[in-house]
Chains A and B, each alone.
Chain A
């Protein structure tokens, strides 16, 4: 596939080299979390074996090395999403914390009774609940961009929903439940025309195609290391410097201050103001290694592989009798939600599991999506750079088994 050798890629992921339940593992749940290449695992081991110390504090050699590794990771993230300045990169636990950070700093500062937060019907709970909480705290109102039966946003409804009361638009780049790729650049253009800042949830985007935050023009961009072949416990909030600088701190503690007396605290500059306490140093190092791994493959090649495999998988699933794909956006990422006859996804997942095939079943932390499609749950196969047409074929065979059990 297009100068991209998937067998070579697979060899980089030790976890894939195993049998489960007597069969080769078929991992189709990367949208929940991705597997890690050896290079990422090694980088974390190396950090703990050679460089570990706290950052920004010690004068000794290890602290210098650890600080260099941590700040170097910040620069690597900057390059990956083409931010202007490494100060625009804040390390957090993941997408969830990044969104909570914006809601509790920007949101607390700028929202009051009668103001509005605009989200969409296809958000992950991580991009719903922090805004609901903010609305309860401030008296603001949550507004929702509707979705259509393909799983695309109803863009003609957007302009009327962006009003002089709207204080932020928070929108996903890619829906984790449906695979819909949202035209966030266009939405940002429309929001900015009305002076509304934009937060993009990029958790499902950065693993599948190149992301350029300057080109998108958004004010905030959030993503998780563990979904992009990096470790758990680390994620990123990108914020345009002029947006971040006026914001109050998020959590209080060490590292986020310049000086403390019992009377007065002076807060540190961006990004440290938002990184209270000892951060996940090894996590940042591992994330940087994941980015270097992706850069070496080339995100354009990754995108081409994922799209080819998505097309193959879509056709293959459509050949299974009684199978209906939920989420048929014209621009789609490598996620396939589906229903098989009236068999409950939980039963589908259990039977596939016995074949060594890992998929996700349930509401995918996107209950409003399920409510819109009037289903309690779906089965979801999500594809990544190490998946092959053989994985898809195994899934199809597994689904025929499911049909056999329930015939």
Chain B
């Protein structure tokens, strides 16, 4: 496999895409949003239980490619028990990572999400990696309607 490809489809990415975490509707959720990537038909929904300013629980469901599923799965792990501002800051970092690559990004602060760094070599796949995050943002802002990557 070329090194670009092995950077993109890292073990952790493949593993999360096959066995996504928090793949469920959160019981008693008080926020939700649907996201859609019209280019490839990917769709996912995010449900949240927010208490005060803190994301107490998060789940996602939907269909998409390995990158979008893995990104969603990793995201749910990363933002649980985080404040809105923390989640937002994480999104900024992830976005920079998948568009520009690891340089200039505090990779340590990203934890497991760092495995998404390979995406930056594949501009056509950036939207796959960010769909879940856009959807999370919409849910946090109380915009329940479908968001679109276009």
Contacts and interface: CB of A to CB of B under 8 A. Distances in A.
B62 to A, nearest CB: 10
Contact of B125 (A346, A362, A370): A346
B120 interface: no
A367 interface: yes
A361 interface: yes
A405 B41 contact: no
Given A350-B122, A350-B124, A362-B41, A376 B63 contact: yes
A354 B2 contact: yes
A354 B40 contact: no
Contacts of A344: 64-66
Nearest to B41: A376
B8 to A, nearest CB: 7
Interface string A371-407: 0000011000000000000000000000001001110
Nearest to A377: B41
B5 A351 contact: yes
Interface string A329-352: 000000000000001111100110
A346 B65 contact: yes
Contact of B67 (A21, A347, A401): A347
Given A346-B65, A401-B1, A405-B5, A376 B124 contact: no
Nearest to A361: B40
A363 interface: yes
Interface in B35-91: 39-43, 63-67
Contacts of B133: none
Interface in B131-147: none
Given A344-B66, A350-B125, A351-B5, A406 B14 contact: yes
Interface SS of chain A = helix
Contacts of A343: 66
Interface residues on A, range: 20 to 34
Given A344-B64, A405-B1, A350 B40 contact: no
Interface string A56-70: 000000000000000
Contact of A362 (B2, B9, B14, B40): B40
B106 interface: no
A177 to B, nearest CB: 12
B4 interface: yes
A21 B4 CA distance: 11
B136 to A, nearest CB: 21
Interface residues of B, number: 21
B94 interface: no
B33 interface: no
Contacts of B63: 376
A370 B122 contact: no
Contact of B42 (A351, A367, A376, A405): A376
A367 B40 CA distance: 11
A362 B67 contact: no
Contacts of B122: 350
Interface in A17-40: 21
A401 to B, nearest CB: 7
Nearest to A371: B41
Contacts of B4: 354
A367 B14 contact: no
B128 interface: yes
A406 B42 CA distance: 19
Contacts of B39: 362
Interface string A349-361: 0110010000001
Contact of A350 (B8, B14, B42, B64): B8
Top 6 A-B pairs ranked by shortest CB distance?
Answer: A344-B65, A346-B65, A376-B41, A377-B41, A363-B41, A347-B66
10 contacts: A344-B64, A346-B40, A346-B67, A347-B66, A354-B4, A363-B41, A367-B41, A376-B43, A376-B64, A405-B9
Given A354-B4, A362-B39, 8 more contacts: A21-B2, A345-B40, A350-B124, A363-B40, A376-B43, A376-B63, A377-B41, A405-B9
